[in-house]
């Protein structure tokens, strides 16, 4: 007499049945190659935040370093105000970049807001260092794109 086994009884003792592996629990989605963009965005947030913090410290301690006077900027504020803005924004960007590595949803939202704010601030600071500001704005745009398009990929990781 031939014995037929169903997929549910394979590998079990006689008379025992097991539920299929997918019943009762949701299978986690496999990470894709797009997680590289989120890692890129998190790394850029760490770097941009560090650069902003350094810019802030320079503006606070040595404001004569900048080539343009405060009247030559788009927004007429002194370098002490710019320094504090860049320093605090840089620290927040580093924190958001670190949390982005963990795939936190709040980090994605904060990253988009901070990257957009960074792009606007760099636009206002364009008169002092146009090439540097253009590079920072470009990196901010890539970060926003990576996080908004591929942000959910880190959850599967």
Q: For residue range 117-128, what is the model confidence (pLDDT) as tens digits? A: 999 988 887 877
Give domain status of residue 28, yes or no: no
Inter-helix orientation angle 105-124/130-150, to 10°: 160
Shortest CA distance to 90 belongs to which of 37, 123, 136? 136
109 CA to centre of own chain? 9
Q: Tell me the residue range of the domain where 104 lies.
A: 49-156
Give domain status of residue 13, yes or no: no
Q: For residue range 97-150, what is the model confidence (pLDDT) as tens digits? A: 999 888 788 889 999 999 999 999 888 878 777 898 899 999 999 999 999 887
The three-class DSSP label of residue 78 is coil
Give domain status of residue 152, yes or no: yes
Give domain status of residue 8, yes or no: no
Give domain status of residue 20, yes or no: no
Q: For residue range 26-43, what is the model confidence (pLDDT) as tens digits? A: 555 666 667 788 889 999
Shortest CA distance to 79 belongs to which of 141, 21, 147, 129? 129
| Number of domains present in the structure of the chain | 1
Give domain status of residue 123, yes or no: yes
């Amino acid at each position: 007499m031939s014995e037929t086994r169903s997929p549910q009884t394979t590998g079990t003792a006689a008379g025992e049945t097991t539920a299929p592996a997918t019943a009762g629990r949701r299978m986690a989605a496999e990470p894709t190659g797009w997680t590289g963009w989120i890692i890129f965005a998190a790394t850029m947030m760490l770097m941009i935040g560090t650069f902003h913090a350094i810019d802030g410290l320079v503006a606070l301690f040595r404001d004569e370093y900048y080539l343009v006077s405060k009247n030559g900027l788009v927004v007429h504020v002194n370098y002490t105000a710019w320094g504090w803005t860049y320093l605090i924004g840089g620290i927040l960007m580093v924190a958001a970049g670190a949390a982005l590595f963990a795939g936190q949803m709040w980090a994605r939202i904060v990253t988009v807001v901070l990257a957009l704010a960074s792009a606007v601030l760099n636009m206002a600071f364009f008169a002092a260092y146009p090439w540097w500001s253009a590079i920072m704005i470009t990196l901010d745009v890539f970060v926003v794109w990576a996080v908004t398009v591929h942000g959910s990929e880190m959850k599967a990781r």
